[in-house]
Amino acid sequence: MSSELEKLKDDLLGLPRNSRASLAFALIASLEEEIDDDVNRLWEEEIRRRHRDIKSGRATQKPADQVLLEVRERLRCLK
């Protein structure tokens, strides 16, 4: 990786989490050749369903830090 790209990466990783997520979404979207409206519609429906489940108490939540810790521990077991 070029030093210019390394510097850019380091700068971008210093952004707040929401900004990094927004940028990641935009970069990934830029790689897609064609946006599938059906897929977008299905994801929007899924997001709405999950939101309703959380609001109604049917779904439980965990802090992101806890989820990441659990995933890291599971991945360590696979080594």
Domain carrying residue 56:
36-79
Q: Is there a single domain that holds both residue 26 and residue 61?
A: no
Q: Give 33-50 pLDDT, tens digit per residue.
A: 777 788 889 999 999 999
Report residue 1's pLDDT band, with 50, 70 and 90 as the boundaries. Answer: low
Average pLDDT over residues 55-77: 93
Same domain, 25 and 58: no
Please tell me whether residues 43 and 29 are part of one structural domain: no
Residues 6+ apart with CB under 8 A from 50: 59
| pLDDT for the residue numbered 5 | 92
Mean pLDDT for 64-73 is 94
Q: Count up the domains in the chain and report the number.
A: 2
The pLDDT tens digits of the residues spanning 2-24 come to: 899 999 999 999 999 999 999 99
Cα–Cα distance for residue pair 39/50, rounded to 1 Å: 16
Do residues 1 and 18 share a domain?
Answer: yes
Same domain, yes or no: 20 and 40: no
